[in-house]
Amino acid sequence: MSRRALTLLLAGLLVLALGVVGAFRPVPYVVLSPGPTENTIGDVEKKPVISIKGRETYPTSGSLSLVTVAYQGGPAAQIDLLTALRGWIDPTVAVVPEETIFAPNSDPGQVEEENAVEMTNSQDSATAAALTELKIPYEMVVTIVSTEKGKPAEGKLRKDDQITAVDGKPAKDVDVVADMVKAHKPGEDVVFTIARGKDKLDVTVRTVADPEGQSLVGVRMQAMYKFPFDVDINVGDVGGPSAGLMFSLGILDKLTPGELTGGKQIAGTGTIDPKGEVGPIGGIPQKMVGARDAGATVFLTPPDNCAEAMKSVPDGLRLVKADTLHDAVLALDALRNGQGNVPACAAG
């Protein structure tokens, strides 16, 4: 073999070796793919997803399915370049920069804790929204789950403190408390009125700026409710807040005579607050694929996700816009009765 041929061969082998090594190097991306669906009026692992005790319930039919997004990657287990490349050529998945899913320098344990808190909040908000729709009264109090190490609230506010007011104004829910803190400039004081056991205290905490320049004190909060009967939701390892709308519909279906779905396979997504307002979520293309693969023909969609959903809706899946829980109930009533006045998503 000539020296030139040998040089070319060695160079080719070196390029190949570098390519193989590079293909398995970790990259800061996350692959999003369709995750499992769960019928909120059905069972998971032989247990009802929604169990209600202390109140009369009624038979249901069809499905009201929550949808999820599975992901590969993240701070704890970065994917390699080859996995990212496979994702880029698969139309049913998305490959996104890691920072769009996880906060910079986020701790995996903290992410799991936040997802668990968001899921618990979502379930409670869903129950509250269903009871609000049915005009059944309940009580709510904002409770501190934990304080962040090194932040101003550490050592001043405690786990299980109940926030009753901020700067003298009632703490109506978690979002209201967060907004009242953000209304301050970084470096200003916030006065929390709290119930700690049998004591009522005013605690002053100075705000600091988050990476976006908004004020925070470093607390994780959760709305704690006192409902007139027990509602237990069992979804296994699913985390995050995006199943709120479907939880509410499942609770409503069980608490009211008649069958909300009319036997249809309904899926959907969206956060929900105690008033029944539906909020946007992420991963809508992957969630629609998962819904259609599970047999759904109707997909309840938050209004702020409609434009994105219209760009990639799978064949055979009808998008129904759900601004509120009440609107979603009216839409399902219309579908069940064969009426045409069902709010649809429109391309943005």
| Cβ–Cβ < 8 Å for 270, 282 | no
Kindly give the pairing relationship between strand 318-321 and strand 298-301.
parallel
Q: Is 182 in the active site?
A: no
For the question of residue 2 being annotated catalytic, the response is no
DSSP structure string for 103-144: -TT--HHHHHHHHHHHHHHHHHHHHHHHHHHTT---EEEEEE
Q: CA–CA separation, 280 vs 298, rounded Å?
A: 18
Is 284 within 8 Å of 269 (Cβ atoms)? yes
Q: Which residues pair with 219 in a beta bridge?
A: 147
Kindly report the number of other CB atoms within 10 A of residue 201's CB atom: 12
Given the residues 151, 156, 254, 287, the one annotated as active site: 287
The residues facing 204 across adjacent strands are 191
Per annotation, catalytic residue among 242, 248, 254, 321: 242
CA dist., res. 225 & res. 124, Å (int):
7
Nearest residue to 117 (alpha-carbon basis) of 215, 275, 240, 265: 240
225: tokens are 């409710």
| 266, 296 contact by CB (below 8 A) | yes
Q: Which residues are catalytic?
A: 242, 287
